[in-house]
Amino acid sequence: MHQLPTEEKILRMFKEACQRLGIKNPEENMKKTIIYLMTDGTRTASNLEGEAAYMDGSDFSKRFVHVVKTVGGKACYVNVFEEFHQKRKDYSNIYSALVKVVPDWLDFVKNNDIRLKFIGKFDSTFMPNSKSEDLRKHLKMLEDLTAKNDFTAHIFINFSREWALENRELFKDMPNINSIIRFTKGQGVPESMALPGKIEHETLVYVQQGSSSVNWSDRQIVFLVALALRANERNMPYFLQSSYVEGDRERIRRQREEERVFVDEDFYDKKDDKKPKVAVIFSEVGPERYTF
């Protein structure tokens, strides 16, 4: 498992990323940014096989949650697996990986004051026939242990939209998602992965590479969080306004229709020990592509 960087190092990297991205109010707007991390591409992003690939994906999620909390986020969401995954041939690998990473997540939440809230269908077992350890007891233990912590990571496990629609009251006090990070697929959030009533006025961050921990440096994960913040900061003022401020309408029209603005920036650090990552976000005037 990847050793987590110090908070001081994360904050230093985040400040640098925000300066490069022209983010004006990172502290204030990070408190308002609720990210939904849609992990994907884990098996194709590395040479890891079987449960090792999924454990690597879990490590990425843990590192991401740590960064979001450190830079001032109040909560986040992470999609792990859905109910339909039980039909996949490799489901036993997914399940085994989740059981094996419990001790690592236990140490993580103890040391970082993070609350874990699991969202999914838990009234019946989802344990494969080939396994004997019920993951649900571990999930309850982690929830009970961390219940009083302030920062909450909402984790989707054995989730389905059908189940969620029948249990909407469970989510009414959870924060609304307004920034979505999707790996390898530029599709936004499919209906099957959406939490009813909790995704509104969202921005999309498309990442070309998969969410495989062995392929991402600490700096790249920090930069990814900063990109989600930039996308949200650029779009947030326009979500609910009924009219444009003086000069804004003409500026947006010109940049969209005439200049056809397309930002393409390379912030990759050649000293980085990982290969470059590529992400696309969308501002009020057009797409922005970043290499980092």
**What does pTM read for this prediction?**
0.94
For residues 48 and 214, give the distance between their C-alpha atoms in angstroms, rounded to a whole number: 9
46 is written with which tokens? 């590395």
42-51, 169-178, 282-291: which range is least confident on average? 42-51
SS (H, E, C) 167-186: CHHHCCCCCCEEEEEEECCC
Question: pLDDT exceeding 70 applies to what percent of the chain?
Answer: 99
> Is pLDDT at 200 greater than 90 in this prediction?
no
Q: How high is the pLDDT of residue 186?
A: 85
178 is written with which tokens? 């307004």
For residues 26 and 117, give the distance between their C-alpha atoms in angstroms, rounded to a whole number: 26
pLDDT digits (tens, 9 = 90+) for 235-277: 987 876 666 777 888 999 999 999 999 999 999 999 999 999 9
Domains along the sequence of the chain with CATH: 7-291 (3.40.1180.10)
pLDDT digits (tens, 9 = 90+) for 127-155: 999 899 999 999 999 999 999 999 999 99
Contact criterion met (CB below 8 Å) for 265 and 291: yes
Contact criterion met (CB below 8 Å) for 6 and 65: no
For residues 64 and 48, give the distance between their C-alpha atoms in angstroms, rounded to a whole number: 20
For residues 60 and 1, give the distance between their C-alpha atoms in angstroms, rounded to a whole number: 9
Q: How high is the pLDDT of residue 243?
A: 67
pLDDT digits (tens, 9 = 90+) for 32-55: 999 999 999 887 889 899 999 999
Contact criterion met (CB below 8 Å) for 18 and 224: no
